Amino acid sequence: MIPALQVPGRWGVPERDFADAMAHAEASAFLARESEYMDSRRFSEWAELVDESFRYLVPVPVTPDNPLSPPFDPECLLLDESKASMIQLWFRRYEKGMYEIAWGENPPVRLRHFVTNVRVRGTDDENVYDVRSNVLLIGVRQGDAPAFLSAERFDLVRRTDTGLRLLRRIAILDETLLAFPQVRAML
C-alpha cells in the first residue's frame, strides 16, 4: 500500500477520539475558506493556505470483491500533485496570456464544493490535526447538465503562527466510472 494511504480508523489502522468543539469550528472555517478560494479561482490565496510540503493524492477507485477491502487500489493513483505542480501545471493555465491557449480551461468548468461532516482528531504531532470531511463536488461544463463527484477527504492540517495550513489531502472517490467533465479537480 502507498504508505500515505494508510489512514487511521480505516482498513485496520487505529484512530483517536474527536478533538473538542473549538477545533471543529476552526477546521470547518478553514475548509470553507479553502473551498471558497478554489471555487472562485483565487489561486494565489488558495496557495497561501497550503504548506510547502503539500501532497494531493486520489487513489483509483475500484469495486472490490468483498465488503472488507477498501474501495480503491492502494497502489495506484489517479492524481498525485504537489503545491509546485498545482501552481505550475494547473493555476498558470488561467493566467492572462495563457488562458487563450488553455483550451480545457476556457471556458472553465464551474466547480462548487459542498463540504460536510467535518471530523477533527489529534495526531502524534500536537500541531497537526487529522481533519476528515465529506465533499460533494458539482462541475458544470458550458451548457451541459451538472455533473457530480462525491468523496471522503482525509486531510492533515497544521497549526502555524499565521493560521492553519493544509499539509496533505487524500480523497477517496465513491464513483468507479468517473463521469465528470474533467477528472483534473481538487476535491
Partner 1 sequence: MSLIETAPRFAVSRRIYNDENIHHAELERIFRRSWLFVAHESEIAEPGDYVTRRLGIDRVIVTRDEEGGIRVLLNSCRHRGTRLCRADRGNTSHFRCSYHGWTYANSGELRGVTFQPEVYGRDFDKSRFSLFSPPHVDIFQGLVFACWDPEAPSLLEYLGPMAWYLTTVLGKFDDGVELIGVPARTLIHANWKSESENLSGDGYHTPVTHATAFELGLFATKSDLELLGEVSGPRFTGRTADCGNGHTMRIQRLPLNTPRPAFHGYPEELWEQIERNLTPAQVEVQSCLSVGHGTVFPNFSFLENFKTSVDGPGRHARYIRITLRYPLSATLTEVVWFGLRPRGASEEWQRLSRLGYLRTNGPAGMFEVDDLENFVSISQAHEGNVSRDFDFTLEGGLHGQAAPAALGWPGDVVDGDRTERTIRAFLLRWHDLMEGNPSQSQSVTVSHGR
Stretch that binds partner 1, among 17-25, 32-40, 103-111, 122-130 (CB under 8 A): 103-111
The residue from 7, 47, 78, 128 that contacts partner 1 (CB under 8 A) is: 78
* Candidate residues 84, 117, 127, 163; the one interacting with partner 1 per rule CB under 8 A: 84
Q: Which stretch binds partner 1 (CB under 8 A): 21-29, 47-55, 84-92, 127-135?
A: 84-92
- Give yes or no for residue 169 binding partner 1 (CB under 8 A): no
| Cα 164–chain centre separation | 15
> Which residues sit opposite 115 in a β-bridge?
135
Region 27-56 residues binding partner 1, contact defined as CB under 8 A: none
Q: Is 140 in the site for partner 1 (CB under 8 A)?
A: no
3-state secondary structure 88-152: HHHHHHHCCCCCCCCHHHCCCCEEEEEEEEEEEEECCCCCEEEEEEEEEEEEECCCCCCEEEEEE
- C-alpha span between 3 and 135 (Å, rounded): 23
Q: Does 64 bind partner 1 (CB under 8 A)?
A: yes
Note the residues at the interface with partner 1 (CB under 8 A). Answer: 58, 60, 62-66, 73-82, 84-85, 88-89, 92-93, 98, 101-105, 144, 176-179, 182-185
